[in-house]
Structure 1
Amino acid sequence: MEAMEISRSGLDVEWRRLEVIAANIANMNTTRTADGGPYVTRRLVSGPVDGFPEALRQTLSAYDGIPRKGVMVYDIAATNAASRQVYDPGHPHADEAGFVTLPAISQAEEMALMIKTQRSYEANLVALTAATQMYSAALQLGRQA
């Protein structure tokens, strides 16, 4: 069941990443949030359940029989991307000079990241399907014996 659990954890992480990307795209023109400033771009931080040092040790050494646990979300962190200034003197949030502060979100960058995340999600789905088929074939062999 280890392969299925690892793929399932990957599906969960990539789904959450898609949600964060969608929120970034949806808020690219948000000038004010609840705390008063423009929306801040967010990124999902993920990695192995065991932590990076343990995952690296397991990768560099021969398989030691320790079951792998998959991946998890560590955090949804705000980026330190600068905001952008747009001249729109008629906007209700414009400053004295007529500029509106908007988040520095690139729709092209977000869409590229969304496609990459979608491919990772699909790869985990294929791995989950393959593991399911292998376990099913093993059960069929067991019934024949």
Structure 2
Amino acid sequence: MHAMEISRTGLEVEWRRLEVISENLANAGTVRTAGGGAYQPRHLISGPRGEFSAYLDRSHASATAQDERLDGVMVYAIEPDATPPRRAHEPDNPQADADGFVTYPAINHAEQMVLMAKTARVYEANIVAMNTARQMYAKALELGMRG
């Protein structure tokens, strides 16, 4: 894979992560879903597309074979958060149970906002890497045309 393609996979993963974070924040007050319970926050699990240990094992492969093993990143799964929901005593709320408690999703706004800022920075870093690779390819073409 080339540098621009690797950065593109990073952009795709981080964009999906931003979507998951946005969905969590948008549903922070959702006490009833179509399934009947409180919204279940989710988180994205990502990692290398190829076998990372194979890339690290440089003793048995040429540089060309190493480049072919660079596959970028991918989303492995989007899993529900295991944090138990928050219960608030609100007996006047129409969504309250028989004991007067309303079950809210366990979404930490500050944590989600920090993760969103971090994800945005990673997204920006992938754009910078992609633009740098594009400039390097353009310069290489320019130099090749001179020779």
Does the alignment reach a TM-score above 0.5?
yes
Q: 2 CA distance for matches of 1:55 and 1:107?
A: 33
- Which residue of structure 2 lines up, in the alignment, with residue 13 of structure 1? 13
How far 1:57 moved relative to its partner?
A: 3.0
* Amino acid across the alignment from 2:56: T
Per the TM alignment, residue 60 of structure 1 is displaced from its structure 2 partner at its CA by 4.5
* Structure 1: gaps (5+ residues): none
Could you say what secondary structure the match of 2:20 adopts? helix
1:34 paired residue number = 34
Cα distance in 2, alignment partners of residues 60 and 125 from structure 1: 29
Is residue 2:100 matched to residue 1:92? no
2:58 equivalent to 1:61: yes
TM-score by structure 2 length? 0.91
Question: Following the alignment from structure 1 to structure 2, what is the Cα–Cα distance between the partners of residues 61 and 101?
Answer: 52
- Once superposed, which parts of structure 1, at least 4 consecutive aligned residues long, lie more than 2 Å away? 59-66
1:22 matched residue in structure 2: 22
Residue in 2 aligned with 1:123?
Answer: 125
Deviates more, 1:57-66 or 1:78-87: 57-66
Rounded Cα–Cα distance in structure 2 between residues aligned with 1:90 and 1:131: 59
Q: State the match for 1:113 in structure 2.
A: 115
Paired position in structure 2 for 1:47: 47
Computed over aligned residues only, the root mean square deviation of the Cα atoms, in angstroms, reads: 1.4
Deviations 1:74-120 (A, max 9, x none): 11111111000112112111012211000110000000111111111
Q: TM-score, normalised by structure 1?
A: 0.92
Shift, 1:9, TM fit: 0.3
Q: Percent identity?
A: 52
List per-residue Cα deviations over 1:25-72 (Å, max 9, x = no partner): 00011001111110011011111111xxx2123125357433111011
Which runs of 5 or more residues in structure 2 are unaligned? none
In structure 2, distance between residues paired with 1:23 and 1:90 = 27
1:4 is matched with which residue?
4
One-letter identity of the residue aligned with 1:39: Y
Q: What is the letter of the counterpart of residue 91 of structure 1?
A: N
